[in-house]
Structure 1
Amino acid sequence: MLESSSSEFTHTYDYLDWLTILPWGNFSDENFDVLRAEKILDNDHYGLSHVKERILEFIAVRRLKGTSKGKVICLSGPPGVGKTSIGRAIARALGRKFFRFSVGGLSDVDEIKGLRRSYDNALPGKMVNCLKSVGTLNPLVMIDEIDKLGKRQSDDPANALLEILDPEQNAYFRDHYLDVTIDLSKVLFVCTANVVDMIPEPLLDRMEVINISGYITDDKMHIARDHLLKTTCMECGIKPEQVVVSDAALRSLIENYCREPGVRNLQKHIEKIYRKIALKLVREGASAETPEVSVKKFMIDESNLADYVGKPELYADKIYEQTPVGVVMGLSTKSTGGSTLYIETTSVEEGEGKGGLHITGQLGDVMKESAEIAHTVARRIMLEKEPKNLFFANSKLHLHVPEGATPKDGPSAGCTMITSFLSLAMKKPVRKDLTMTGEVTLTGRILPIGGVKEKTIAARRSQVKMMIFPEGNRRDFDELAYNLKEGLDVHFVDEYEQIFELAFGYNMGSPPLNFRRSLTSFMWDLLSGCFLY
């Protein structure tokens, strides 16, 4: 009823257009066929059995219940492990529409909930745009990079996302622009994050976190063979029979060029190989119209791999073949997966400073606290083991963690630091094939840590045979795949005394703790048998 020349005409028309274009009461038909969903997930992704199992459980519950109430799932893992593609596969398996948007760096609430109509150029937020695009009220919405939310002094987008994700609130969601109630309770939300610790606590409380750890070499070999090589070959217009990539070349590519836990970098290197082959074919006169011009086959093996991808830029994770006195290999995790972490300690002679500790290596506050605790515990242990050893009283120590340009933090290097201090004090190196991880208290208790799978992958990459984990992580290790645990000698400890025996038992000329206990039991049984006889 407004005049078209009225200043309110355009605003009112746009508002009514948005109201009428939304899919009120329109829901897509869902498919609750578990076997079909399992086939889709297996075809799209190799491994990730725990993730697939959880999705199949979700579908099974919906089939028995007959309703499709929304859920909030958070896929957490390093870059390139396939979190976004898993979301697409879930949408295909369920028969839902798929919509994705990223909130990395987002600091404006209006982008999520829209701008009020009283402002010029006002528009609805991302959720209303999502519903308009998919045309249904029960899509699968993927919210990427939720651990990288921005924040301003006046705006906190986490609060706006909370209203969208909270099952108790999202049935009555109101966009600022539309100012009407929209039911989001049927939407399946899948969030992705690299580090769960960076997600605001209220948001994390509403999510079910599914961890996706990195892939080991065998997994990457399967993924490259079954997916990456075939896809890249088609995208570059090359026939599969024209290129043969040997297993040795593929393994070398993975171990010397692409050690990341994900496969994104591996895909880039494979594309680089096929682009060079495509250029060679075109120079020989091949094209889409005349593919028969060149029937040449290309064999990629270790001998010519560098001609296609250049020389490897990565150096070995294992810096020392035999760790010297005062050096111990630990394990750490970061957003890109697990890695080895060396703790190096040296001393300054008396006169330069007594009993002090200097720390370098760009360590965070938590790791510096761990170093101070480790120094105190090491002094106490040395006083108990060798009371006449005055090394700690007469020397100033310098603890360093290599790769000083990389920030490091966390308490899990506590036991590694203690071992490094004791190695220096006793002038005894630890076993060369040993690595350890665990937080230590002032009384010497070993506390559980995170990232067991990532750290195990890093240990295997460095050809480590013997690992020490806290007793509290035994269950986490038992849940790992068999091929990941095969060939590893893993010890679980709850007191540092046990680590002391494992690290220095062979070097001190005395058998390790477990062996001594076994020997004692054997001698007791032998004496008892003689007595009975």
Structure 2
Amino acid sequence: MSDLESDFQVKLKPSTGKEELPKLPEVVVIIPIMNSPIFPGMIAPIILSEEKFTPELDESLLKTGYVALNLVKNDLKNDEGEVIPEEEIDFDKKEIKSGDIYKVGVLCKVVKKLKLPDGSVNVLVHGMKRYRASEILSESPILKTKIEVFDDILETDEELDAYTRSVINQVKKLSEINPYFNEEMKLAMLNSPSPGSLADLVAFAISLDIPEAQDFLETLVVKKRFAKLLVYLKREKDVADIQKKISDEVNDKVNKYQREYFLREQLKVIRSELGMEEDEKSRDIKRIKEEIEKVGMPEDVLKTAKEELERLELIPDSSPEYNVARTYLTWLIELPWKKSTDDNIDIAASKKILEKDHYGLEKAKERILEFLAVRKLKPSYDGTILCLAGPPGVGKTSLGKSIAASLGRTFYRFSLGGMRDEAEIKGHRRTYVGAMPGKIIQALKRVEVNNPVIMLDEIDKIGKSFQGDPASALLEVLDPEQNSTFIDNYLDIPFDLSKVLFIATANYINDIPEALLDRMEVIELSGYTLEEKVAITTKWIIPRQLKKHGLTKSDFSLSLNVIKKIIADYAREPGVRVLEQHIAKLCRRAALEKVSRPKNKAKKFVPATTSLEEMLGTPRFHSDSAEKKNKPGVVTGLAWTAYGGEILFIETLPLKGKGFKLTGQLGGVMNESATLAYSYVKKLLQNQMDEKKPAPVKKKATKAPATPVVKKDEHENEDYLAAHEVHLHLPAGATPKDGPSAGITMALALYSLATNKAVDSDIAMTGELSLTGKVLPVGGIKEKVLAAKRAGIKNIILPKQNEKDLKEVPVLHRKGMKFYPVSHFDEVLKIALKK
């Protein structure tokens, strides 16, 4: 047995629990305490604010000399019975009631009372006995209660001795880790008058939370108290061990860094004494210095690089700052300040490159050749940035590559799609951990020249978030007036981007921020026609896919009808990407058949139109064709979609009642167009009724025979639309439809319904309507005309201002079709309802 244990055995004599005490009062004042529970035998101060230390409390303390301390429950409730979060409770202002405290507490004797300068009162109390508030006598202004005092229940036996030794051993282990269990604590434990007091003292030292402290306080049997205490001590020991482990790990790391630093310094001295070669840091700095002189930086950049090099020499190579400064200098060295490629522009060769790589797109090719011609005449030309806009798969990226090849420059592409942080364009400041330059500077480092062709792909899909606006950061990059002094946040020095040729690509121009769009010249790529797709398939796609799949022309062949059916039923998008995927699917099928058959029975793969569904699956598209005869209220319109042009049937139906109903998944613009068309036609019908109404004729007053008065029909003077509820619907309700192109079509459908006149099924139309009846221009004329021709429609009504756009439609496709340019809705009525 250790000395500590033997000392405790001597001191801890069993208590009978019947020690003589001064006479205790029958009624005491309860002081609620929020934390730091006090147990019998403890002496501790209690600070009471000026508001809490009432005259009634002072009078009671003077009269009895005793006070009761009860813990406040940690689940206080408001007047509605809801639990108040602990962080929202203001204990100084809240009035504690008897229901807010635990009934069992500690009866304490007031040892001393001292008033502090701020008005609060320090009351020093000595815990005497556990007690229970048996009967609350008053709630306000102070809590008063009758008391019932308890003594410890002590059973002296070997089990109690074992509990005592276990507690002593745990405290001894904790004293090595926890500084609270010091010599003073040991002395206090030695002077404990009984086992119960010892348990209370240790419990006070380990700072239990409110529920645990209250449970410990309500445990009168000393053995049970020791059992609970052992659990608390074990938990305290585990927490202390973890704290010690963390502290030791931190100290080990610090000691390791210090040791490495001293060893490096000693190594430097040893190398110097032995006359050995310079250390690694010196060699690194010498190499950086030589490269700085070779690169040919501008004067201001050279000055910054030398200043940074001087700072690098002073930083120990073991410091994290050393790597930051060294990385910065490496970036400055590796950037192409003077390196560039010579432009080798040959217009004839460029034209061949464009014709070889791209079919159709005549306007785009012409604009690119003009651009190259100006560059040849004036190499320093800082014209506007090109933006290739068009649907996916029409060849925007490959056009950019062709431009780079025509110029003889390096091509680099990166996507802006989904970019939300402006630091990706302009870089991070070096104060951040892991800082890097932006995408522009990174691109220049990779291509190693200062005049590449950089393609900014998907500029319309650039994002915006709380981290910044990348579109705004791009303004400096794409403005010829500013980009000669572009400053990246990481470099913090200007870099000349005026020699870089930027080409942007986008799917939808409307999604590009206006300020950014203003700095670019847009070249629109509208997509390929059916004939163009057929030519692209035969000249480019099939040979490329045959080579890719290890096939030859003798293994695979597609007829013209099959190609047209694939385009019409499976790949109707403006580009050729999906078309190429379906051709690749057929090539894989041909490869499987070739490998599966013996060599002497090899057969050419030539699929028929009827077998396409088996190989490629169910057709994705269905082509609408013109009806043989339209009913009144049904009109054929023309629409532009992401897959090209389509014909669109607009249907109307009269119902009983009044009003106007729209269906067909229409967007905001389409909804407004329909409402405008309804209002215009309604007014038109009313005007026509007014014109037909005969003028009133005055007659002489004669005595009329007494005849019954006939009540007029309430709709007699109302137009058709006012007297009926009209339902307007655009079929294919699952397909979203929006855009200003169906105004006159919807207005004609409503007029046809109201006048019961059918519109010729061989007429289709497009155009927007104003509230005064003017026909406004729309877009996508080329695609709409081709859609009408596919559907077998020969007569097209279009806005007068769009007549010039017919030049974009090849003469071959316009053959056999008649166009009616109109400027007012009256002309639409004359043409569509001429019968």
Kindly indicate whether residue 731 of structure 2 is the aligned counterpart of residue 410 of structure 1: no
For residues 172-231 of structure 1, what are the alpha-carbon distances to aligned partners after superposition, in whole Å with 9 as ceiling and x for unaligned? 111111111111112111111111111110011111111111211110010000000000
Identity over the aligned pairs, expressed in percent? 46
Residue of structure 2 in register with 1:515 after alignment: none
Contact 2:630–2:758, Cα closer than 8 Å, also in 1:
yes
Which structure 2 residues correspond to residues 20-59 of structure 1 after superposition, within 5 A?
A: 20-59=333-372
Please say if residues 572 and 644 of structure 2, whose CA atoms lie closer than 8 Å, have aligned partners that are also in contact. no
Please state if 1:82 is matched with 2:385: no
Q: Does 1:501 align with 2:821?
A: no
Structure 2 CA distance for partners of 1:336 and 1:152, relative to 1, 3 Å: farther
**2:297 matched to which residue of 1?**
none
Query: What amino acid sits opposite 2:667 in the alignment?
Result: G
Partner Cα separation in structure 1 for residue 740 and residue 626 of structure 2: 22
Query: Is the contact between residue 281 and residue 294 of structure 1 (CA under 8 Å) also seen in structure 2?
Result: no
Q: How big is the alpha-carbon RMSD for the aligned residues of Structure 1 and Structure 2?
A: 1.9
CA distance in 2, matches of 1:20, 1:324: 76
For the 8 Å contact 2:626–2:791, the answer to whether it is kept is no
- Which one has the largest radius of gyration? 2
Measured after TM superposition, the shift of residue 294 of structure 1 is: 7.0
Residue 447 of structure 1 pairs with residue 776 of structure 2:
yes
Give the alignment of 1:335-354 within 5 angstroms. Answer: 335-349=642-656, 353-354=657-658
The one of 369, 372, 376 aligned to 2:679: 376
CA contact (8 A) 1:79 1:194 kept: yes
Deviation at 1:94, TM superposition (A): 1.4
Q: Deviations over 1:44-83 (max 9, x none)?
A: 0001111111111111111122435364111111111111
Q: Which moved more, 1:396-405 or 1:433-442?
A: 396-405
How many residue pairs align between the two structures? 496
Q: In 2 relative to 1, CA 343–15 (structure 1 residues): closer, same or farther, beyond 3 Å?
A: same
After superposition, residues 145-164 of structure 1 pair within 5 angstroms as 145-153=458-466, 155-164=468-477
Alpha-carbon distance change, 302 to 181 in structure 1, aligned in 2, over 3 angstroms? same
- The verdict on how the C-alpha distance between 1:214 and 1:157 changes in structure 2, with shifts beyond 3 A counting, is same
232-241 or 38-47, which deviates more: 232-241
1:406 Cα shift?
2.7
Instruction: Tell me which residue corresponds to 2:669.
Output: 366
Counterpart-to-counterpart distance in 2, 1:443 and 1:304? 54
Counterpart of 1:425 in structure 2 is 754
SS state at 2:649 partner: strand
Amino acid at match of 2:791: S
User: Contact 2:382–2:480 (CA<8 Å) still a contact in 1?
Assistant: no
SS at match of 1:240: coil
Tell me whether 23-32 or 36-45 shows the greater mean CA deviation. 23-32
Tell me: higher relative CO, structure 1 or 2? Use CA pairs within 8 A at least 6 residues apart. 1
Match of 1:471 in 2: 800
Q: 1:338 to 1:194 in 2, by over 3 A?
A: farther
Go from structure 1 to structure 2 and tell me whether the alpha carbon gap of 1:31 and 1:293 turns closer, same or farther (over 3 Å shift).
farther
Partner of 1:529: none
- Cα deviation code 1:322-350 (max 9, x no counterpart): 3332121222224443323322211112x
Q: What is the SS of the residue equivalent to 2:674? A: helix
Contact 2:389-2:522 within 8 A present in 1 as well: yes
Q: Distance in 2 between matches of 1:18 and 1:457?
A: 54
The AA in structure 2 aligned to 1:370 is S
How far apart, CA to CA, are the structure 1 residues paired with 2:809 and 2:317? 68
Secondary structure at the residue paired with 1:363? coil
Instruction: Say if 1:315 and 1:336 are closer, same or farther in 2 by CA, change over 3 A.
Output: closer
Are 1:299 and 2:606 matched, yes or no?
yes
Taking a change above 3 Å as real, the CA distance of residues 88 and 7 of structure 1, as seen in their structure-2 partners, is same
Tell me, yes or no, if the aligned pair for 2:562 and 2:609 is still in contact at 8 Å.
Answer: yes
Deviates more, 1:302-311 or 1:381-390: 381-390
Q: 2:583 aligns with which of 270, 291, 314?
A: 270
Q: Note if contact 2:555-2:590 (Cα within 8 Å) is conserved in structure 1.
A: no
Alignment-derived partner of residue 197 in structure 1: 510
Determine helix, strand or coil for the equivalent of 1:111.
helix
Tell me by how many angstroms 1:164 deviates.
Answer: 0.7
Specify the SS of the correspondent of 1:407: coil
Q: Tell me, in whole angstroms, the C-alpha distance in 1 between the residues paired with 2:353 and 2:409.
A: 14
For residues 39 and 433 of structure 1, what CA distance do their matches in structure 2 show? 43
Does structure 1 retain, via aligned residues, the 8 Å contact 2:343–2:408?
yes
- TM-score (ref. length: structure 1): 0.89
Residue 144 of structure 1 pairs with residue 457 of structure 2:
yes
- Aligned: 1:184 with 2:497: yes
Q: In the aligned structure 2, how far is the partner of 1:248 from the partner of 1:370?
A: 40
- Report how far residue 118 of structure 1 moved: 0.5
* Deviation for aligned residue 1:309: 1.7
Task: Describe the shift of the 1:460–1:143 C-alpha distance in structure 2 as closer, same or farther (beyond 3 A).
Answer: farther
Paired amino acid for 2:666: L
Structure 2 unaligned segments of length 5 or more: list them.
1-312, 693-717
Which of the numbers 386, 397, 409 marks the counterpart of 1:96? 409
Unmatched 5+ stretches in structure 1: 286-291, 507-533
**C-alpha offsets along residues 394-448 of structure 1, whole Å, 9 cap, x if unaligned?**
1011112222223322222110110110111122221112111111111100111
Q: Which SS does the other structure have where 1:100 is aligned?
A: strand
* Cα distance in 2 for residues equivalent to 1:319 and 1:433: 7
CA distance in 2, matches of 1:141, 1:272: 33
Question: What's the CA shift for 1:233?
Answer: 0.4
1:242: Cα distance to partner?
1.3
Partner of residue 236, structure 1: 549
CA contact (8 A) 1:91 1:98 kept: yes
Distance 1:15 1:376 in 2: 67
Distance 1:434 1:318, change over 3 A: same
Quickly say closer, same or farther: Cα 1:320–1:386, change in 2 above 3 A: farther
CA separation in 2, counterparts of 1:28 and 1:306? Answer: 52
Question: Residue 514 of structure 1 aligns with which residue?
Answer: none
